């Protein structure tokens, strides 16, 4: 089973899309539609039919900008404020302008959205300012609907290939990628004129408090491979210190409240059953209040539904227990907990890197271009903040179209055969040892150190200790890790991505000597927000083999923010009334 096979094949294409979750299929589809003559390959570590963050679907759109309910200006403003102003508005605005046409397209694919009696979209309010949440009554069918489109377009799909490194040409432009089969360990070299990375969040970074390594909030297959590949190819990564941390049901990786239960009157409560946050939208400031309440005498924190009518609870339950995280009902059944009878204990998730929910990702502009020519990124791993599923679809479309155009006007870059040999040797090293440490132990230790040292509140001295310990684990990984079959080899390679992401998270966090984005970058030895020195992005990249960070100016706003609006998301805590 999973025997190691020696082999290498080579293929070439115009556009290579890596990652078949949400953004990837859309990017591939749009590239093909833009240039029907182009060869488009979609590479996936798992199986496109059921891969990625939405393997079992999604219960709604969190950020739909629908005419009549919200405007692109309003949405851009909201996201800018929710991110403490550190936003390049162009890609956000472009998303906001374009996403309605994507909703209509998804509607044509057979994905239904909630409509009211008049046939209009029934959009709900969750955010602080605007109204953007649109439930999806048949959200469990998303992947099937997407897959149908891919088949119809006759796209080339390669499942069970894990991309390990990007190949670059002499001038630093993208030249393709190397992948390894997760069932046989055979190599595939894909020469490509343009490459689009859609490889999801770095979600297997922190260790869930349950101790179950794969019980992460993000699909556990999302081990940050895209972040690592972009880094090693020389691309810049933005604001990695802005971690992803989410409010979840304690011990269960399901989100709790804001988008599904909130619009029906459910809310996040403390142990007295009282609300303590103004707005359940997942911002860093909200997470900080959540964290403070957890630690306080009024903790822990609960999801409160037991004040709602039975019919309402049943409706919420139907969504929560059937779409996105369908084992949730089973979890509550096992615990003997019922939304009707009691408040449900909540907790915060392990840390991760993810732009879909926060702002930490591979830097992209409004065309989804990274800083490496010919290399694109979209979805959770690209730096458009808070872009969620609809952002993955929309920015995936943007990436696909621009990449097809770019590929049409460029030639293949030369690939250095030495680069391929070097990567083969790196990948296979754990299979050449007879004795050593298996990947699961190295991964566990790395992620335990992430929890011990990198989880906010962030303290400089702790981070430095963490870096030292992580370097020791890296040394073990490089010199002692063993993989006895191709499945274990996949885990070994994922472990390398996890360690790269941990190093990047630590480096980026130490660089920004202030606190920002609420809990996401709470540095208790630099507790204040410092707009004089740090009203900027940070970009991290590999330069001469070393990790470096630099500041990057926030691009001039296209939607101005008034002074009295700037801190709207800072006032999340409900004031005690006399």
Residues that bind another protein in the complex, under the rule CB under 8 A: 1-2, 46-47, 49-52, 55-56, 159-160, 182-183, 208, 210-216, 219-221, 251-253, 325-327, 330-331, 334-335, 435-438, 487, 490-491
Minimal distance, residue 20 CB to another protein, in Å: 11
Least CB distance to another protein at residue 348 (A):
15
CB-nearer residue toward another protein: 157 or 372: 157
Nearer Cβ to another protein (427/504): 427
Pick 234 or 438: Cβ nearer another protein:
438
The nearer residue to another protein, 15 or 490, going by C-beta atoms, is 490
The rounded distance, in Å, linking the Cα atoms of 163 and 180 is 6
Judged by CB, which is closer to another protein: 21, or 72?
21
Beta bridge partners of 547: 542
CB atoms within 10 A of CB 560: 11
CB of 345 to another protein, least distance (A): 13
What's the angle, vertex CA 114, arms to CA 96 and CA 394, rounded to 5?
A: 25
Smallest gap, in angstroms, from Cβ of residue 328 to another protein? Answer: 9
Instruction: Report which secondary-structure segment, H or E, holds 81.
Output: helix 72-82
Nearest CA to 245 out of 276, 285, 275, 210 is that of 285
User: 185 — alpha (psi -120 to 50), left (phi > 0) or beta?
Assistant: left
Nearest CA to 190 out of 405, 500, 413 is that of 413
Q: How far is the CB of 554 from another protein (least distance, A)?
A: 36
E strand or H helix at 362: strand 361-362
Question: What letter would DSSP give residue 429?
Answer: G
Task: Supply the minimum distance, in Å, between the C-beta of residue 326 and another protein.
Answer: 5
For another protein, the closer of residues 85 and 326 by Cβ is: 326
Q: Give the three-state DSSP class for 437.
A: strand
* Nearest distance, CB of residue 480 and another protein, angstroms: 9
Which of 432/461 has CB closer to another protein? 432
Q: How far apart are CA 568 and CA 531, in angstroms?
A: 16
C-beta of 472: minimal distance to another protein in Å? 17
3-state secondary structure of 105: helix
Token output for 114: 């909630």
If one counts every other C-beta atom within 10 angstroms of the C-beta of residue 272, the result is 9
Torsion over CA: 464, 465, 466, 469 (sign): positive
Query: Nearer to another protein by C-beta: 462 or 487?
Result: 487
Nearer to another protein, 481 or 506 (CB): 481
What is the C-alpha separation between 455 and 448, in angstroms, rounded?
10
**Closest separation between CB of residue 309 and another protein, Å?**
28
**Shortest Cβ 216–another protein spacing (Å):** 8
Q: How far is CA 39 from the centre of its chain?
A: 27
Instruction: Identify which of residues 331 and 367 has a Cβ nearer to another protein in the complex.
Output: 331
CB 82, CB 283: distance < 8 Å: yes
Closest CA to 165 of 506, 496, 446: 496
* Residue 105: other Cβ atoms inside 10 A: 17
CB of 98 to another protein, least distance (A): 29
300 prior amide bond cis, ω within 30? yes
For another protein, the closer CB: 213 or 465: 213
Q: Which residue carries 């293949």 as its tokens?
A: 412
Report how far residue 532's alpha carbon sits from residue 124's, in angstroms, rounded to the nearest whole number.
Answer: 37
């Amino acid at each position: 089973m999973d025997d190691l096979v020696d082999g290498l094949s080579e293929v070439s294409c115009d556009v290579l899309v890596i990652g078949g979750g949400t953004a990837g299929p859309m990017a591939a589809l749009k590239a093909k539609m833009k240039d029907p003559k182009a060869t488009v390959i979609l590479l996936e570590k798992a199986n496109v039919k059921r891969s990625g963050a939405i393997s079992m679907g999604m219960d709604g759109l969190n950020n739909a900008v629908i005419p009549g309910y919200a405007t692109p200006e309003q949405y851009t403003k909201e996201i800018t404020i929710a991110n403490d102003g550190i936003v390049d508005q162009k890609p956000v605005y472009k998303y906001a302008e374009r996403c309605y046409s994507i909703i209509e397209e998804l509607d044509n694919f057979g994905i239904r959205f909630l409509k009211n009696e008049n046939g209009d979209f029934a959009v709900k309010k969750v955010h602080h300012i605007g109204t953007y949440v649109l439930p999806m009554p048949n959200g469990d069918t998303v992947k099937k609907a997407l897959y149908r489109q891919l088949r119809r377009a006759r796209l080339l799909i390669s499942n069970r290939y894990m991309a390990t490194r990007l190949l670059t040409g002499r001038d630093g432009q993208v030249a393709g990628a190397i992948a390894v089969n997760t069932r046989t360990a055979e190599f595939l070299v894909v020469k490509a004129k343009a490459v689009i990375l859609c490889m999801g969040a770095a979600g297997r970074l922190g260790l869930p408090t349950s101790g179950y390594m794969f019980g992460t909030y993000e699909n556990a297959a999302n081990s940050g491979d895209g972040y690592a590949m972009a880094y090693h190819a020389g691309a810049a990564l933005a604001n990695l210190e802005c971690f992803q941390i989410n409010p979840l049901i304690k011990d269960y990786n399901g989100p709790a409240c804001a988008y599904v239960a909130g619009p029906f009157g459910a809310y996040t409560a403390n142990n007295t059953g009282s609300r303590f946050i103004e707005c359940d939208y997942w911002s860093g400031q909200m997470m900080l209040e959540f964290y403070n309440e957890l630690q306080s005498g009024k903790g822990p924190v609960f999801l409160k539904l037991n004040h709602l009518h039975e019919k309402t609870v049943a409706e919420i339950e139907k969504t929560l227990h059937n779409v996105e995280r369908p084992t949730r009902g089973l979890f509550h059944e096992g615990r003997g907990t019922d939304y009707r009878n009691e408040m449900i204990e909540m907790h915060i998730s392990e840390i991760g890197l993810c732009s879909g929910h926060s702002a930490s990702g591979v830097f992209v502009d409004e065309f989804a271009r990274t800083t490496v020519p010919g290399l694109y990124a979209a979805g959770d791993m690209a730096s458009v903040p808070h872009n969620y599923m609809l952002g993955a679809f929309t920015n995936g479309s943007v990436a696909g179209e621009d990449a097809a155009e770019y590929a049409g006007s460029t030639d293949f870059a030369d690939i250095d055969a030495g680069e391929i040999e070097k990567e083969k040797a790196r990948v296979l090293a754990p299979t050449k040892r007879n004795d050593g440490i298996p990947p699961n132990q190295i991964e566990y230790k790395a992620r335990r150190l992430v929890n011990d040292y990198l989880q906010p509140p962030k303290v400089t001295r702790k981070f430095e200790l963490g870096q030292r310990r992580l370097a020791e684990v890296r040394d073990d990984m490089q010199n002692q890790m063993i993989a006895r079959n191709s499945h274990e080899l996949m885990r070994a390679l994922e472990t390398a991505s996890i360690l790269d992401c941990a190093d990047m998270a630590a480096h980026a966090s130490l660089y920004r000597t202030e606190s920002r984005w609420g809990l996401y970058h709470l540095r208790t030895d630099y507790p204040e927000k410092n707009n004089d020195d740090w009203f900027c992005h940070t970009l991290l990249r590999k330069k001469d083999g070393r990790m470096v960070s630099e500041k990057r100016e926030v691009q001039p706003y296209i939607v101005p923010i008034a002074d009295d609006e700037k801190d709207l998301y800072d006032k999340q805590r409900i004031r005690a009334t006399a």
